[in-house]
Amino acid sequence: GAVVSQHPSRVICKSGTSVKIECRSLDFQATTMFWYRQFPKKSLMLMATSNEGSKATYEQGVEKDKFLINHASLTLSTLTVTSAHPEDSSFYICSARTQTYEQYFGPGTRLTVT
């Protein structure tokens, strides 16, 4: 199957700093990628849809100025958590959609804000 990677897998940052998470489709091109947030023992919450070459579409209640998404190429989307606070600590998962509309997920990034 198609492979999606995320980097870093774990990150610890101080409150007030920004952190960038990368999502890459390794063996296919993805015009659309998705960013999810998962709370402990909870389902995945879709944060935004990232479209290559255009602005991301954010779900209701997600602050676009806090969670900056850039889909710079057909294989890379980045999520930047700006001015992070402890409540932003979570497991962030991306997925990439193939041309046949299947979604493949990255392994996730554990963010801890101290």
Partner 1 sequence: GNSVTQMEGPVTLSEEAFLTINCTYTATGYPSLFWYVQYPGEGLQLLLKATKADDKGSNKGFEATYRKETTSFHLEKGSVQVSDSAVYFCAPGGGTDKLIFGTGTRLQVFP
Binding residues (CB under 8 A) for partner 1: these are 1, 4, 6, 34, 41-44, 46, 49, 93, 95, 101-108
Burial of 58-82, coded b for 16+ CB within 10 Å and e otherwise, reads: beeebeeeebbbebeebbbbbbebe
Q: Which is nearer to partner 1, 19 or 97 (CB)?
A: 97
Residue type, 63: E
Q: What separation, in Å, do the N-terminal and C-terminal C-alpha atoms of the chain show?
A: 37
Q: Which is nearer to partner 1, 84 or 108 (CB)?
A: 108
Q: Which is nearer to partner 1, 84 or 96 (CB)?
A: 96
Cα-based angle 63, 64, 67 (whole degrees, multiple of 5): 85
CB of 93 to partner 1, least distance (A): 5
CB of 83 to partner 1, least distance (A): 26
Q: Which is nearer to partner 1, 86 or 100 (CB)?
A: 100
CB of 26 to partner 1, least distance (A): 14
- At which residue do the structure tokens 């890379």 appear? 76
